[in-house]
Amino acid sequence: MTENDFIPKAYTHLPEKGKVGWKAPSNIALVKYWGKKTNQIPANPSISFTLDACATQTQVTFTKKEDSKDFSFDLLFEGKPKEDFKPKIKTFLERIEPYLPFLKKYHFVIETSNSFPHSSGIASSASGMSALALCLLSVENKIQPMAPDFFNKKASFLARLGSGSACRSIEGDLVQWGKHEGIETSSELYGVKYPFDVNPIFKNYHDTILLVHKGQKQVSSSVGHNLMHDHPYAEKRFEQAHSNLDKLKPILGEGNLEAFMELVESEALTLHAMMMTSMPYFILMMPDTLEIINKLWRFRKETKVPICFTLDAGANVHVLYPESVKEKAIQFIQDELVAHCENGHYICDRIGTGAKQLFEE
């Protein structure tokens, strides 16, 4: 498919008004997307676990307006007007307008809330942009109904234009994005459900997110991605992501936890190594991030409990483990790791099944 396949045919009728709502989850990458080309095309393929508890709920009320010169919308975040989010939403609307040509014909009221702190290193842009993309696409679906499979592809395609990783937040439970030779259905334009067998051990996988630092990040992901241009190690890193995706196939199929933990932790540290070797260089990990990693490694060595970590573009630590060791892992987290979280805060999440429509009126 190409971008042009997402341009709809001319609308024959536009409803006067309506309201739609979606809940979309966050996701945590196992093989990381870091570096992009123009139009939100990833420099390398990535794969993620879709999450469950960390999510954004968005509802969009739309009312037909007289002139269609510009976009018109109000934005409410957790019930209150949020002016500083508006430029990002406007840029998003501009990018997706060719694919949703009704956007200037309506006034929208966008009401959104998160189940987790904004800019905490949890991909709030992923759940936020996917929830909004789904709402706007639901409006188009009322104007011109589309097949469910196409709906998911287009929702992912639109979400990607808001934030790259958001395209992996439409479906569950494992989603791959970016062209990769070994995955025939893969695309630069949207995320696809991972097409290969996955061992049941990964079916109920846990992700306990340790909130080491809840404030605004020092360097945004967009700036970080850009620093991969002219990065001395970029090409090798992009090759490595392809090779790690190939390696994951038997690991996920056989349920090889040892190899899984090694690959996932290496991906997390490579991501941060790219940040540290950018020019200008930067560090998003904090002393408590490293304390957690060291304690986790020691615990794993001593107890053989298969618990590992990954990192997003931030200081927080995602602790990953299978359902079978849930009690031991939670006990360890509470006894040893929570002390390193800001105000003792952490979120118990697990692998999820994707976005859900809340209503449509």
Paired sense of beta strands 317-321 and 174-177, if any: unpaired
Question: How near is the Cβ of 314 to ligand DP6 at its closest, in Å?
Answer: 8
SS3 at position 222: helix
Question: How near is the Cβ of 224 to ligand DP6 at its closest, in Å?
Answer: 7
Radius of gyration in angstroms for the set of CA atoms belonging to the chain, rounded to a whole number? 20
Residues 259-278 that bind ligand DP6 (CB under 6 A): 271
Q: Hey, what are 7's tokens?
A: 């341009």
Q: Which long-range contacts (CB under 8 A, 24 or more apart) does 182-189 make?
A: 182/245, 182/246, 182/249, 183/45, 183/245, 186/45, 187/1, 188/41, 188/42, 189/1, 189/2, 189/3, 189/41, 189/157, 189/160
Alpha-carbon distance of 197 to 219, in angstroms, equals 37
Question: How near is the Cβ of 293 to ligand DP6 at its closest, in Å?
Answer: 17
Binding test (CB under 6 A) with ligand DP6, winner from 180, 206, 213, 225: 225
Residue 350 binds ligand DP6 (CB under 6 A): no
Stretch that binds ligand DP6, among 145-153, 157-165, 246-254, 273-281 (CB under 6 A): 157-165
Q: What's the distance, CA 82 to chain centroid?
A: 22
Which residue lies nearer to ligand DP6 by CB, 180 or 225? 225
Binding test (CB under 6 A) with ligand DP6, winner from 20, 21, 26, 32: 32
Residue 52 binds ligand DP6 (CB under 6 A): no
Residue 340 binds ligand DP6 (CB under 6 A): no
Residue 123 binds ligand DP6 (CB under 6 A): yes
Stretch that binds ligand DP6, among 11-19, 25-33, 73-81, 87-95 (CB under 6 A): 25-33
How many CB atoms sit inside 10 A of residue 291's CB?
16
Question: How near is the Cβ of 67 to ligand DP6 at its closest, in Å?
Answer: 31
Question: How near is the Cβ of 292 to ligand DP6 at its closest, in Å?
Answer: 18
Q: How are strands ordered across the β-sheet holding 206-210?
A: 308-311, 317-321, 206-210, 346-350
Q: Hey, what are 11's tokens?
A: 């609308």
Which residue lies nearer to ligand DP6 by CB, 102 or 309? 309
How many residues are listed for the chain in this entry? Answer: 361
Residues lying near ligand DP6 in the complex (CB under 6 A): 29, 32-34, 40, 46, 123, 125, 163-165, 221-222, 225, 271, 312-313
